Structure 1
Amino acid sequence: MSEEGKVVCVTGASGYIASWLVKLLLHRGYTVRATVRSIDDPTKTQHLLALDGAKERLSLFEANLAVEGSFDSAVNGCVCVFHTASPVLLEVDDPQVQLFDPAVKGTLNVLKSAAKVESVKRVVLTSSVSTVMFGVKLPESGGVVDETWFSDPVVCEQNKLWYQISKIQAEDVAVKFSKENGLDLVVINPGYVIGPLLQPTLNFTSEGFMGLIQTGKELLPDGVYMLADVRDVAIAHILAFEKPEANGRYCVVGDVIRSSKMMMIANKLYPNLGRSLRHKVEECVEMAPYSVSKAKAESLGVEFTPIKVSINDTIESLKEKKFLNL
């Protein structure tokens, strides 16, 4: 399928998900306008400029989430805006400055730029399962979570889940602004993202995954991970634009899995990991307590990557980039 000639914008293009989004858009024939915080920072730009098709169809734009109007030139003439730019931090000193302002005001600034451009047919927002299932009573064993679930910001605030609140607020303002300004908005809600890295730096979720398989260090207190392959997340964004019937929110979670099962899979794929300080894992692993519905994402055409493939490809990528020595 070729989308030759269609011009789209990707914000925060140097990020983990966004880099894959740019790669797959170029592969499908799109012309991509990618925003980064600094064009002069090679760690943000070189891997993008090296992608197939980049020389012919990729333009880089400098833009700042905090500055209204800074996305105007990148968005002008585009048919779709993919807004992925938002900070991912679990430990912060000042949630307002470090998380809420860039997530919420940044989203509004991007949408304001999009609303000025008649050619923009749709905005696809990168949200998170953080907006779906935090601070609510999760289903009992065998229950299913879907797009109709919404996190409780009051409970999140009581538990100081600042990142989750930033995503809840950003999604809320995006929905409200889009309704009031006639923008067609589709929201993607990925789980904990793993898979190969394109960018040269170690992103938050990949670092957490590496710590888990090496030392057994939990990133999530309950040890239950809603995993999504970065390639599945990127293609979900593209399909959310390409399918006219796409609407509302789409959970993108391939597997809900306990950390012990993840370590067991990693151990079988890479026995050398056994040399590390990781916890010994028994063959009998308790099932995850609930699942996240794939039905709506699959209705878009998302074909989920098997968990073993995602884990294997993540480890291979971490090895290749010298983050993980085996």
Structure 2
Amino acid sequence: MSARPDTRLPDLLGIELPVIQAPMAGYTTPAMVIAASEAGGLGSLPGALLSIDAMNEALARIRAGTRKPINLNFFAHTAPEPDPAGQMAWRSRLAPYHVELGLDPAAPVPAAGRAPFDAAYCGVVEAWRPEVVSFHFGLPAPDLLARVKRTGAKVIASATTVAEARWLAAHGADAVIAMGFEAGGHRGNFLGDDMATQVGTFSLVPQVVDAIALPVIAAGGIADPRGVRAAFALGASAVQVGTAYLRTPEAQVTALHLEALKSARDDSTALTNVFTGRPARGIVNRLMREIGPLSDVAPGFPTAGGALVPLRAVAEPAGNAGFSNLWAGQSVALAREMSTAALTRSLGDAGLAAA
């Protein structure tokens, strides 16, 4: 590892501050992206929950608000094969909750959707030409990745192990996000699924820095300037921060989720697969305690979520967050209420000082 902080990433991405506002599907708004980019960081729009029309609409709003670099983020997972038996077992496990809330356990439920990157999404990239395109769960097929690169976009992607970082470096990434075990939301793992061996941020970052020649972005457990300084001391070239942005007024967060964020402690989160079928870190609630947090019955990502939609529709209006995914990282208690712009500048100034 170099004795001097790596400062390549801001130049690579064309940003002033070494801070990436994490793309948080369902929570990030165009206003957040605009504010983060205008403040000098990299605003990120998550695409996994957006239709093509909704993505185009969001990008139109963003480009009307800023001409500075932005990141368009996608999931690169493979959709699971149909599993009727698995779905029946999952719905049977959830049936008592449906009955408790006055719902018919046998009633049809909506399909749960987090769409993987495909030709249609690639067309959006080609039309809007964002400066950065990021991926979660690996990288898309080589032909799609080549199309993205032909737009001039820089490609970054998440790694949760050194092996994944090496794989990304060998398959076309321009920079790698070293995503520690502390991070909120979905784990970015794609070469293995053993959660017991996932690595913490401040162990992972220097090992990834030593393993690859690309700039490394630290993610997970970073919510204030102290975390930024620590990441830079270990060789990171930038940080990606998510949970802290959930406390900004630009975030789209339910009142129940916001209250959970405000009252969370250091031990309030856990990894769970019961909301989507894939491990993700969130604030512990009833569903996680009673059938998880990691359940062998939960069907493949993202199909587990469909049967939870009716439960949330009844529970949330009654002030019950027991069936809602309350994504947050382990440093949630360090987050403070402030604007996206102020948070970006605070984190970015710490990075510049460390560099």
- Could you say which structure has the greater relative contact order, defined with CA pairs below 8 angstroms and 6 or more residues apart? 2
TM-score over 0.5 for the alignment?
Answer: no
- TM-score normalised over the length of structure 1: 0.34
- TM-score normalised over the length of structure 2: 0.32
